[in-house]
Structure 1
Amino acid sequence: MMNMKNSVVFKMHLIETAPDTHDQFLNASRGDMVTAIAIEDGTLGMYSSHQPEDITKNYAFEVFDDEKAYQAHRHSESYQQFDQQLTDVIVKHQVIDLVPQFMEHQDVALNISTPNDLWINIVSIKVAADHLTDFKQVLAAQLDNAIKSDPGILAIYAGTKKGEPTEWIIYEVFQSEENYCKHIASPDHQSYVAQSKEWVLEKKVDQTIGDVLVNRGNN
């Protein structure tokens, strides 16, 4: 499992690419992410995926040990190449800083950069301000038990938007749709849903197609 520290840097990127440039974007992302995980000790996880109905809408999640590690990656040769290759590809790029609330993945390092059948969700939740502590406790207990008991759950990271503690983002990577269905049907998950029902004001689940998903495991 991943040891979460207060220094961890967690970012979500919303990236829109020009039409017919997805392969170029994917190749550049693959080169940067795979290289970063291989040689940068402070880069803990990097994930990219896209909307099923629109491949110009992309998401990327990054996890770094601390700000120093993040800056080291930003100044790395692989990132500079990535940035240069996509000058005319990326038409819109929004970076959202997240405050880590729960971060766990399986012990075995994830190294996927080719077409796959992973089931990846990006869950957006608005929580009632007076129940933030309750929600975090219930959510963390449920997720911790789930990832420890089910190897089909490859990674789950949860964070709140910086400066907006009621706005939660949960990034989930499952081995397959079957694993996802098993997870949401489990008694633990059903209990979490029932307990948090009155605290959750809004919820949206976006299922995405995985492109590059790499992490260091517990190395």
Structure 2
Amino acid sequence: MDNRLQKAPLMRIFKLKVASDKLTEFSEIGQHNLTTSIAKEPGTLAMYSTSSPDEPSTFYIAEIYENTEAYEKHVASEHFQSFASFAAEHLTDRLVYQLHPQWLKEKAEAISAQGKDSLTVKLAEVDVKTESNQAFRDIVVKEMAAAMEKETGVLAMYAATLADNPASWRFFEIYADNAAYEKHRQTQHFKTYIEQTAEMVQTKKLLTLTADILVNQGGLFFDLFL
């Protein structure tokens, strides 16, 4: 599928904490919400439910919608309303990262993975020196474009900045497995990116997440500067 966007989509990452005795129910309701959404809502482009391997009750949810209209259609759906009702009662904490997409790309084949799949998911939080932000963007976009073109095991890469802090980046990446991720780290384009941005980065945090439910339409591409 080719899904090239001319306008920035709506993208957010949620950090949710679920009551420890409701984890199974959360997964079941979440699975129904995500899989139904991706099947019935063309404007729902990607939905990923992941969890922390160290904190099983902590979930990271990434969502991408084509536009506000697509999001509102999703929110009005019966499957989302069921999820929202559960969340209102059983979430113990909720943090939302409102994001400005910078560069997003998926392989053409749609992802549909459920139930502790072997796919490897990484979430990186990177704060960049303000004066270096544009140069950092140029370098990291070049690196991601090379990875998506040359590495079959790199399935999706998303780069976005916080809506209220353009120098605070979030990278959500999906790999075929851990071997594909390790292979990526050994590529020349990745090593060049690390070397060229070393003095630009203030802080960096990398999370390895458990893939619970990962679904997308496939073929998404967006570049803010095109």
TM category (shorter chain) comes to over 0.9
Query: Can you list the C-alpha shifts for 1:97-153, whole angstroms capped at 9, x where unaligned?
Result: 100011011100101122211111110000010111111111001101101111211
Partner of residue 224, structure 2: none
| Residue type of the alignment partner of 1:72 | K
Partner of residue 196, structure 2: 195
Partner of residue 216, structure 1: 217
Residues 7, 67 of structure 1: 8 Å contact kept: no
Could you tell me the TM-score, scaled by structure 1's length? 0.96
Question: What secondary structure sits across from 2:25 in the alignment?
Answer: helix
What pairs with 1:12-161 in structure 2 (closer than 5 Å)? Answer: 12-161=13-162
Residues 105, 217 of structure 1: 8 Å contact kept: yes
CA distance in 2 between counterparts of 1:200 and 1:49 reads: 26
Structure 1 residue runs of 5 or longer lacking an equivalent are none
Query: Can you list the C-alpha shifts for 1:177-209, whole angstroms capped at 9, x where unaligned?
Result: 101100011110000000111101110101010
Question: What secondary structure sits across from 1:41 in the alignment?
Answer: coil
Say which is worse superposed, 78-87 or 13-22, in terms of deviation. 78-87
Partner of residue 11, structure 1: 12
Say which is worse superposed, 43-52 or 80-89, in terms of deviation. 80-89
Residues 2, 103 of structure 1: 8 Å contact kept: no
Say which is worse superposed, 104-113 or 114-123, in terms of deviation. 114-123
1:2 CA displacement: 4.8
CA distance in 1 between counterparts of 2:219 and 2:106 reads: 9
Question: What secondary structure sits across from 1:22 in the alignment?
Answer: helix
Partner of residue 166, structure 1: 167
| Residue type of the alignment partner of 2:71 | Y
Question: What secondary structure sits across from 1:69 in the alignment?
Answer: helix
| Residue type of the alignment partner of 1:192 | Y
1:4 CA displacement: 4.0
CA distance in 1 between counterparts of 2:185 and 2:219 reads: 26
| Residue type of the alignment partner of 2:141 | A
CA distance in 1 between counterparts of 2:109 and 2:88 reads: 35
Residues 138, 192 of structure 1: 8 Å contact kept: yes
Count of aligned positions = 219
Residues 2, 104 of structure 1: 8 Å contact kept: no
CA distance in 1 between counterparts of 2:218 and 2:207 reads: 25
Say which is worse superposed, 204-213 or 88-97, in terms of deviation. 88-97
* Percent identical: 25
CA distance in 1 between counterparts of 2:127 and 2:169 reads: 6
| Residue type of the alignment partner of 1:64 | Y
CA distance in 2 between counterparts of 1:78 and 1:164 reads: 33
Residues 34, 214 of structure 1: 8 Å contact kept: yes
Q: Over aligned residues, Cα RMSD in angstroms?
A: 1.3
Question: What secondary structure sits across from 2:117 in the alignment?
Answer: coil
Question: What secondary structure sits across from 2:108 in the alignment?
Answer: coil
Residues 121, 171 of structure 1: 8 Å contact kept: yes
